[in-house]
Structure 1
Amino acid sequence: MDKNRDMSSETNQKTQLKLYPLLSSISAATDLISPVLVDHHKKVSFVAATLGKTLGLDQHSLERLILAAAVHDIGGLSSKTRVQTFEFEVAEPDRHTLPGYSLLAGFAPFADLARLIRFHHVYWQNGQGMVDRGEEVPLLSHLIHLSDRIAVQLDANREILSQKTDIVRRITAEAGEMFVPEQVEAFQEVAGKEAFWLDLLSPSVSTILQERFPLGGMELDRGEILALAEMFRRIIDFRSRFTATHSSGVAAVAVAIANHSGFKKEDPDRIKIAALLHDIGKLVVPLEIIEKREGLTSEDFAIIYKHPYYSAEILRGIEGLEDIAQWGALHHERLDGTGYPYKKTAEEIPLGARILSVADTFTALMEDRPYRCGISAASTDRIMRDMATCQKIDKDFVALIYENIEEINDKRYEAQVGADLSHLQFLKDCRLFDNTKEAEERCPVRR
């Protein structure tokens, strides 16, 4: 009886997440895809927080503003789209605001943040911008727009204090048309302080923000953690049709391996969460490399090899998810020490990471890539067994897959078909089929 109560308590146990460090780490990773973008989300968050405080926002509104600003461009799926947002007047803002809205809205606690992101490029137009295409536009969206347009004018090659006059002049000239006049007045007030600009360009701007504007956290139960992981899975995978179903397939295979091996049977969701998040560090890899059809260069591989490291960095420090962060960081390590990025050997690679490595390899081999079609089941079998024999991946988990191949492969296939349908709907909802061949060039899910 006591044991049952303990298990029930464990099932209902909640995890306290500090949202700003998590969201900021994810957006910081996306900002690494181009030198132009580095720390952009952090700068916008700092400007928005400073203006929000000057305007007298209550704590709840200030928190929503900072969190939304921290991921406002998360829907920019390619380097090209992101760099285009650095034009002062953005052409086709829906190309990144709609995907950003869609990606976050699927997680119920972030639905409000999603709305702020959806409208963050709407012009004020002397009050007409209170409504956009029949929907009310939050004033916080307008404040993110203003903060964003301040940040894109910063020139890293010039002394910051010599830039402030020009930036203030340009922003002021657009008061009423692009920006809410009262919000521009708040900017004019803070812009007169040299410390504002020095904080803004400080390497410690994120630390300054968190110290000056303490943010609360969010308690999530196990189901909510899974839903959050699924949201991040979409952010990771939906950047490309070549990766759109990958993490779903890895999760299905990893869960099946864990079930058959008895791994973490008291907490079966942990391996699924780890599988959904294992490639979160791939946000640092430009889409242009992920979708490159010709052979990858040594420079391309150097960028790709960074992604497990950034998976660990993004997830590091999240209380209660330490093992998940470790497994994700090590999913490209090899038992013989030839993997990356840490060159760990067998005794240093925990079972969770070994399961992810086997599940990731099995799934990836059967998927299409820009430079090859998915490999046949027979060839996948041969490659997996060869890798196990050569001490690359865990032979026991490979054997377990092939002892249950029909069941495990069916689960992978079903999960990836579901993810493919979800990706297709995402593209339609975000109008990303316009003027592209995406519909005709979708990657089939292979058995």
Structure 2
Amino acid sequence: MNTIQPSSVKIKVDVRHALIAVATVLDFVGVDDLHHGHRVAYIAYECACVLGWPDDKKQFAYFAGLIHDCGVSSSEEHLRLLKLMQPEDAQCHSQRGYEALLKCPILDVFAAIVLYHHTPWLELLSHDLSTFERDVAALIFLADRTDFLRARYTHGCHEELITLHESMVAENLMAHSGTLFEPEMVKAMCQLVKKDGFWYNMDASHIALLGLEFEANNFYDKELDLEGVKQLARFLARIVDAKSPFTFHHSDKVALLAKLLAKDCGLSEEDAELLYVAGLLHDVGKLKTPDLLLHKEGKLTKEEYSIVKRHTVDTEHTLHSFFPKSVIGEWASNHHERLDGSGYPFSKRQEQLDLPSRILAVVDVFQALTQKRPYRGSLALSDIFEIMQPMVDKGQLDADVYRVLLADIDNFYRLSTQEFQA
């Protein structure tokens, strides 16, 4: 094939950096209330310090706080959590987050905390949890609702004005002591919320740095192997695909097809695996795209399309934070580029697009056309050919990659349309 070959770079990421990056990704969902996960992590950690918890328990509370809302899949759902002290449907996202974490062995230690992070203290006492898990779940609930009160009292005004409402925040927390919240934790939290500096320190960059400066810990400082990276990527892909019912499991399918096609195109086993990760995460930037645009059934307007196109750059920025010295982010962000320069976001041409980028572009188009939509089923192969062949003829998609796809098209079509097995 007359295409640029990749120069692979080993993935190096530890659990600590990965969790902080996950929190940044989750912030995309709450576009109207950024950095909620960071603030809950900070609030929980500071309260754990007042309570005199040991270092490992304080760190665990911090990282649990970062990812506690991993089951929230839409901005609308996120905003519903800001309406009441005890949201009516909070258990739905708690359950989704719990199930997602159970499927990710490197993060499953946080599953029980996420499941119970909206459970009232009196009810929590009846669940079969270790003292450690019950304490952390209770603290995350208290920290989460403390941030809810911050949002309530600063709505429509500068966030620093929360310092004018410190007594009201404390009174609200005390009103639920012994019922929603564990009493000793409430006392500790009330000490914190009455200090201006506690609120002024709620800066996302400061909170992230806090997590990087903790004492060394074998769990958080463990470097992930390729299998761990794939687990993390699948975890994030499920969050992405849950955001839009139109493209549920799209990321999983793109990853699988890209890996198989990469091998058929002669890429090494290592590069095929890296491309699999890029396929899982190629749409992670869509978490920042407004829900209404992703759910729209008809054609997008020029203005809407302009907003949607940004997801490719958001994907590259996000993946750079996960894998700072890897080609994964570049491959993933190139999936809408076209060899003739007609793609986006940078109108790259063929000399700027290596073989993995070309493979991912072909697979993304193919899988999207096979995807079931509410207004149509999977397109037949004949219809797919009518759409993709002109793109190849115009020099938009790589002809050699497309030829390899066609050589085993029945298998690729079967894999792309079959029901996904979790």
Corresponding position: 1:140 with 2:136: yes
More displaced, 116-125 or 135-144? 135-144
Q: Give the structure 2 partner of residue 118 of structure 1.
A: 115
Deviates more, 1:292-301 or 1:179-188: 292-301
1:66 equivalent among 62, 65, 71: 62
Q: Which residue of 2 aligns with 1:426?
A: none
Q: 1:33 to 1:319 in 2, by over 3 A?
A: closer
In the alignment, which residue of structure 1 is the partner of 2:104? 107
| Ranges in structure 1 where 5+ consecutive residues have no aligned partner | 1-12, 423-447
C-alpha distance 295-317 of structure 1, shift in aligned 2 (>3 A): closer
Match of 1:324 in 2: 328
Using the TM superposition, give the Cα deviation of residue 33 of structure 1 relative to its aligned residue in structure 2, in angstroms: 4.2
Number of corresponding residues = 402
1:305 aligns with 2:309: yes
- What letter corresponds to residue 223 of structure 1 in structure 2? E
* Farther off after superposition, 302-311 or 30-39: 30-39
User: Relative to structure 2, which stretch is displaced further, 62-71 or 29-38?
Assistant: 29-38
Q: What CA distance in whole angstroms lies between the structure 1 residues aligned with 2:71 and 2:383?
A: 37
Paired AA for residue 72 in structure 1: H
Structure 2 CA distance for aligned equivalents of residues 331 and 35 of structure 1? 24
Q: Are 2:280 and 1:276 aligned?
A: yes
Q: CA deviation at 1:404?
A: 2.3
- Map Cα deviations across residues 155-186 of structure 1 (whole Å, 9 max, x no partner): 15142321222212211221111111111122
The share of aligned pairs that are identical, in percent, is 28
Tell which deviates more after alignment, 324-333 or 355-364: 324-333
- The amino acid across from 2:182 in the alignment is V
Aligned residue identity for 1:231: F
Query: What is the CA deviation profile of residues 112-157 of structure 1, one whole-angstrom value per residue up to 9, with x for unaligned ones?
Result: 21111100011113xx52233x556621011011111111122151
Q: Secondary structure at 1:64's aligned position in 2? A: helix
For 1:357, the equivalent position in structure 2 comes to 361
CA contact (8 A) 1:199 1:208 kept: no
Of 224, 230, 237, 1:226 maps to 230
**Structure 2: 5+ residue runs without aligned partners?**
1-8
2: CA distance between counterparts of 1:180 and 1:317? Answer: 36
Amino acid in structure 1 at the alignment position of 2:196: E
For 1:105 and 1:205, how far apart are their aligned partners in 2?
A: 30
Deviates most, 153-162 or 116-125? 153-162
Partner Cα separation in structure 1 for residue 298 and residue 412 of structure 2: 32
Q: Which residue of 1 aligns with 2:6?
A: none
Match of 1:198 among 200, 221, 236: 200
| Equivalent residue letter for 1:193 | K
| Distance in 2 of aligned mates of 1:35 and 1:111 | 26
Secondary structure at the counterpart of residue 37 of structure 1: coil
Note if contact 1:291-1:370 (Cα within 8 Å) is conserved in structure 2.
Answer: no
Instruction: Give the 3 Å change call, closer, same or farther, for CA 303–207 of structure 1 in structure 2.
Output: same
1:51/1:190 contact within 8 Å kept? yes
Displacement of 1:410: 3.2
Out of 173-182 and 317-326, give the one that drifted further. Answer: 317-326
Helix, strand or coil: the match of 1:218? Answer: coil
Contact kept? 2:68, 2:114, Cα under 8 Å = yes
The structure 2 residue matched to 1:97, chosen from 72, 94, 98, is 94
After TM superposition, the structure 1 stretch with the greater mean CA deviation from structure 2, 339-348 or 46-55, is 339-348
Tell me how far apart the structure 1 counterparts of residues 293 and 162 of structure 2 sit (CA, whole Å): 33
Shift in Å at residue 362 of structure 1? 0.7
- What is the alpha-carbon distance in structure 2 between the residues aligned to residue 28 and residue 225 of structure 1? 17
Check conservation: 2:339, 2:397, Cα contact below 8 A. Answer: yes
Of the three residues 173, 176, 181, the one matched with 1:171 is 173
Q: Which residue of 1 aligns with 2:125?
A: 130
In 2, the alpha carbon distance for the partners of 1:47 and 1:83 equals: 20
- Go from structure 1 to structure 2 and tell me whether the alpha carbon gap of 1:267 and 1:294 turns closer, same or farther (over 3 Å shift): closer
CA distance in 2, matches of 1:367, 1:17: 33
Query: 1 CA distance for matches of 2:336 and 2:207?
Result: 30
3-state SS in 1 of match to 2:223: strand
The one of 184, 187, 208 aligned to 1:185: 187
Query: CA 1:277–1:354 in 2, change beyond 3 Å: closer, same or farther?
Result: same
Contact 2:167 2:194 in 1 (8 A): no
Alignment-derived partner of residue 400 in structure 2:
396
1:320 to 1:160, Cα distance in 2 relative to 1, 3 A: closer
One-letter code of the match for 2:41? S
After superposition, give the CA deviation of every residue in 1:25-50 in whole Å (9 maximum; x if it has no partner): 44434433454321111111111121
CA deviation digits over 1:218-241, x for unaligned, max 9? 322222322222222222223343
2:15 and 2:304 map into 1 onto residues whose CA distance is: 32
Higher deviation after alignment, 345-354 or 232-241: 232-241
Q: After superposition, what is the alpha-carbon deviation per residue over 1:326-356, rounded to whole angstroms, capped at 9, x for unaligned?
A: 1111111122222222232222222211111
Q: 1:248 to 1:171 in 2, by over 3 A?
A: same
Q: Does the 8 Å CA contact 2:323/2:329 hold for their aligned counterparts?
A: no
- Give the partner amino acid of 1:144: I
Q: Which amino acid aligns with 2:174?
A: T
- Give 1:17 shift: 2.3
State whether residues 13 and 223 of structure 2, in contact with CA within 8 Å, keep that contact through their aligned partners in structure 1. Answer: yes
1:151 aligned to which of 144, 147, 154:
147
- Show the counterpart of 1:435: none
**In structure 2, which of residues 324, 345, 355 is the aligned counterpart of residue 341 of structure 1?**
345
TM-score, normalisation: structure 2: 0.87
171-180 or 355-364: which moved more?
171-180
